[in-house]
Structure 1
């Protein structure tokens, strides 16, 4: 009987000692929580369509005996069609075409010349774009290419010397030219972007004719101006896939 009591006492002592040793050991650390996958970057790749509106600040000239500036802001608005190549995660190349309506421009009175406002017309461009996607949703870009549009031709003019009254007889014509500028675009969602853009545009000089009290008079018109506009585009691309979550190793 005493032997059994001694055996039971030895077992209880061993268990108590083991519990004390386990209490002294550092607790095991829980595995770290898995890292959240970063939000996917916007994909600029693919076709898009959109609309724009803004102002054209005229900087042309009307020449009768001397140059007369054609200035003043006119409405500009229309549609856009384009395609982007996401060359690298940060480099975006593209082609863009737009076409729209151009409002009339004012002509300043200089010396003895007083032209009227210009006729309304059309305006469009076909440009290349090179951009840098500097954050997940932002793109800055430069752009340049072909421009075309109705020339800035006053519908009539008067001249104090030599007392000339003129009425446009040939009408406006569409001239080719060039344009260059820059812009910034923001991805509002995975399909919608908004942008702000500046362009300088210059069209080829125009030879126009006016019927005057001295007969038909050929004149020269230069059409140029600054364009400031905003736009919204719908992209047919899908958002870029998120990178896989990192694999945790022991």
Structure 2
């Protein structure tokens, strides 16, 4: 049933202009940034060679691309997730869905997997950009793999939060604004670190857990953070739908 719900949601996304528009916008922006990073690298390459710098393609092209990608997709994710449940509320089809022989968990996971499938395709296309550099030079594949893993976890967290906010309202626009607000808060919360003696804000920060992946560092604490974030958002979404189902 999870596969059926995910397939239904994916068909709805790709039969409308939404998914195609998001993919097109994201790829155009990433391609432009990628070309800009290559141009900048070519301009400073003689200085790097003259100074025997250890910085290379991965440091100056791949890492900045994935760093920018996190913010670009933070801005696009609410547009992808805002209608996942709020549109069902507004159209009334949520009653049919919840009265069918499927569990609330299956509904939530099906819609979540549909959003992840869209981003899995996008992540693959983004990863092909730095991989194309292998045709003319070398690349730290281990660091690229770590960056891809970090971005995949980050996007999974974005989608889980967006899905939860979509479960709270019948208005997709409100869900989108709420997702923007919460994601941006989690992105900038570490700026309060100077007054946070307990380190809580730093631990809550998406930035602090994502950027180590860009340096090729995969820490168990960062993996646990993202898994807990995803699990908490999905459980809250399930609880929200259970309450709606119980309330009729």
- Give TM class, smaller chain: under 0.3
Between structures 1 and 2, the one with greater helix share: 2
Normalised to the residue count of structure 2, the TM-score between the two structures is: 0.27
Task: State TM-score, norm by structure 1.
Answer: 0.27
Larger-Rg structure = 1
Q: Which has the higher strand share?
A: 1
Higher RCO structure, 1 or 2 (CA under 8 Å, sep 6+): 2
